[in-house]
């Protein structure tokens, strides 16, 4: 009887150990990012907004460098087709910034509530975007939306592989008093 009890106990211990090892090894195989990776990704988001807003000093090359060579930007609200590649992204931001200069307008993009999730390919990112019109007195938030990003680590550091932007469909700008004529109410 005691040999059976020892064998049964030993079998139960081995079964529990095997199941535990399965969960431990599965947890270890999930993609992970280092603290340095998180810092570099957060920096990518910050530098991106600066190149978007104040990058008119160059031809859009700095902005385009935030993407992989085949990186894609898709603004579902305004563009029927995504911009693919650094050259397309460079030209698009240069033209956008030229329009702001021509119109005497200045904006600041601000990303908030950034969430980064490790993936097998790199990372998935998501952030809210608020766009401030800083030419107005007083400045006000004129638009907002959500970025969904697919990020990869390259020899040049973390880059956007794909960036999808969607405006919030229910967003209504908070206009300073006297600026209602910019966005007339339709009846």
For the stretch 125-183, pLDDT in tens is 999 999 999 998 888 888 889 999 999 999 999 999 999 999 877 777 665 555 555 55
Structure tokens at 150: 């697919």
In CATH terms, the fold of domain 37-170 is Nuclear Transport Factor 2; Chain: A, (3.10.450)
Of 165, 162, 79, give the one whose Cα is nearest residue 121.
Answer: 162
Instruction: Calculate the CA dihedral of residues 20, 24, 30, 36 and round it to 10 degrees.
Output: 160
Any idea where the domains of the chain sit in the sequence? 37-170
Q: Model pTM? A: 0.76
Instruction: Kindly state the helix (H) or strand (E) to which residue 61 belongs, with its residue range.
Output: helix 61-64
Q: 3-45: per-residue pLDDT in tens? A: 776 666 666 656 666 655 555 555 567 899 999 999 999 999 9
Structure tokens at 55: 């990058």
Residues 6+ apart with CB under 8 A from 31: 118, 119, 120
Do the beta carbons of residue 141 and residue 109 sit within 8 Å?
no
Do the beta carbons of residue 145 and residue 171 sit within 8 Å?
yes
Task: Report the alpha-carbon angle 121-86-43, nearest 5.
Answer: 60
Instruction: Kindly state the helix (H) or strand (E) to which residue 37 belongs, with its residue range.
Output: helix 35-54
* Alpha carbon distance 162, 107 (integer Å): 23
């Amino acid at each position: 009887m005691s040999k059976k009890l020892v064998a049964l106990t030993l079998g139960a211990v081995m079964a529990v150990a095997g199941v535990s090892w399965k969960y431990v090894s599965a947890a270890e195989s999930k993609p992970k990012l280092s603290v340095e990776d998180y810092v570099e990704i957060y920096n990518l988001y910050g530098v991106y907004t600066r190149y978007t807003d104040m990058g008119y000093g160059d031809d859009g090359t700095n902005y385009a460098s935030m993407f992989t060579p085949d990186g894609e930007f898709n603004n579902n609200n305004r563009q029927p087709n995504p911009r693919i590649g650094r050259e397309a992204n460079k030209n698009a931001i240069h033209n956008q910034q030229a329009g702001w200069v021509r119109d005497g307008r200045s904006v600041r993009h601000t990303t908030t509530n950034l969430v980064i999730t490790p993936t097998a390919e790199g990372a998935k990112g998501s952030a809210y975007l608020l766009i401030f019109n800083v030419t107005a007195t007083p400045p006000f938030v004129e638009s907002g939306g959500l970025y969904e990003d697919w990020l990869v680590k390259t020899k040049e550091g973390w880059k956007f592989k794909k960036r999808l932007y969607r405006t919030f469909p229910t967003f209504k700008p908070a206009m300073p008093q006297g600026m209602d004529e910019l966005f007339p109410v339709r009846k």
